[in-house]
Amino acid sequence: MKLGATGWARGVRKIASPNCDTRPHGTAIGLLVLHNISLPPGEFGGSAVAQLFTNTLDTEAHPYYAQLKGLRVSAHFLIRRNSEIIQFVPCSKRAWHAGVSSWQGCPGCNDFSIGVELEGSDHVPFDDRQYTALVRLTRLLQRAYPIRAIVGHADIAPGRKTDPGPCFDWPRYLATL
Catalytic residues: 117
> Measured on CA atoms in the order 60, 84, 19, 153, is the torsion positive or negative?
positive
| Residues 26 and 108 sit within 8 Å (Cβ to Cβ) | no
Rounded alpha-carbon distances, angstroms, from residue 115 to 47, 58, 64, 76: 19, 24, 23, 5
How far apart are alpha carbons 168 and 118 in whole angstroms? 10
